[in-house]
Amino acid sequence: MRILAIETSCDETAVAVAHDIDDVIQIETSLVRSQIDIHTVYGGVVPEVGARQHLEMIMPMIARAVRPDGAGIDAIAVTAGPGLAPALRVGVEVAKTLAWTWGKPLVPVCHLEGHIYANWIGDEKTLGTVTIPAFPILALIVSGGHTELVLMRDHGQFERLGETLDDAAGEAFDKVARMLGLPYPGGPAIDALALKGNPHAFAFPRPMLNRDDAMFSFSGLKTAVLYELRKDDTRLTDEGFRADIAASFQEAIVETLVEKTMRTAGKCAPKSIVLAGGVAANALLRNRLTVAAEHRGIPMFLPPFRYSLDNAAMIAAAGYYRAQHGDFTDPLTLVAHPNQDI
């Protein structure tokens, strides 16, 4: 099956074409147009500005990926939520129009589900030797808007075991980065700066580790960083000091995510653990999860680095499995669901 996928939930316009070989998703085309350069001016994503960019970019990108009559495409997958309403609507309306005029089935995909399914994409380097996660799967979702531990017993079956009570992990990275005067989005900037710092320079809290559940909370950690900076803000001009703050903050957040994931794995005995969401691009998180899962003897799956951040290849992967189960929708009535959860 060959799928055209469209993703416009936030600040990336993305289009992909993919097919499967034995249930492993092979990406033929993956186009991502980031709007970061535009939103950086505002220090964050402005929904209406983002939607306008999606409107300008989406059709030329689709024209690069498929033939004008849709020949060779078996189904169209689109992110229906969660995300920014004006942004989501662009992708949803384009997908509906194409599905109706081409007479192809339309598959709505949850953005978070898409991030999880990035783990079913065959990486070029693995040359067909890629394995796919076995059920039951424990998924750690860490994006700009979500931090969740989800148990997947089968395709399309998601049980949320825990989530954040306040800030998402990616949001905490973005806010601490802003305190350090780093550009938006903050995650990659902290990831890079932390390499030069001492992760034990400051003892920041490991929130919620005293609770024996799968819940997270990152606003206290963010406030602890703010209080440390306020003690003497002249230190902010010192690159070494900023690197120590970045490294110590990253250490606290990664340690918390890994510890909670492994404790939850101890309770629900998954056959595999998968990492998902933009924070999956974080090098320390990838390393620590791999080591911890190996220690417990559970296969750990990391999304290919290039499909960790928002993209449409992952929407194609999730769409493929939804299509296998006949999860199609009416192209005339599909609406975006900005607050959808997994």
Interface residues toward ligand KG4, by CB under 6 A: 10, 143-145, 170-171, 173-174, 185-188, 191, 277-279, 281-282, 309-310
CB of 144 to Zn ion, least distance (A): 7
Pick the closer one to ligand KG4 by CB: 1 or 36: 36
Tell whether residue 167 is a contact of Zn ion (CB under 5 A).
no
Binders of Zn ion in range 124-143 (CB under 5 A): 143
Residue 286's nearest CA partner among 273, 297, 296 is 273
Q: Pick the binder of Zn ion from 310, 314, 316, 319 (CB under 5 A).
A: 310
CB of 174 to ligand KG4, least distance (A): 5
CB of 11 to ligand KG4, least distance (A): 8
- The region of 24-32, 63-71, 309-317, 319-327 touching Zn ion under the rule CB under 5 A is 309-317
Residue 27's nearest CA partner among 129, 122, 128 is 122
Report what 281 binds from Zn ion, ligand KG4, none; CB cut-off 5-8 Å by kind. ligand KG4
CB of 267 to ligand KG4, least distance (A): 26
- The region of 79-87, 127-135, 213-221, 306-314 touching Zn ion under the rule CB under 5 A is 306-314
CB of 278 to Zn ion, least distance (A): 5
Pick the closer one to ligand KG4 by CB: 20 or 244: 244
Pick the closer one to Zn ion by CB: 143 or 272: 143
Whether the CB-CB separation of 74 and 3 falls below 8 Å is answered with: yes
Q: Which residues are near Zn ion by CB under 5 A?
A: 143, 310
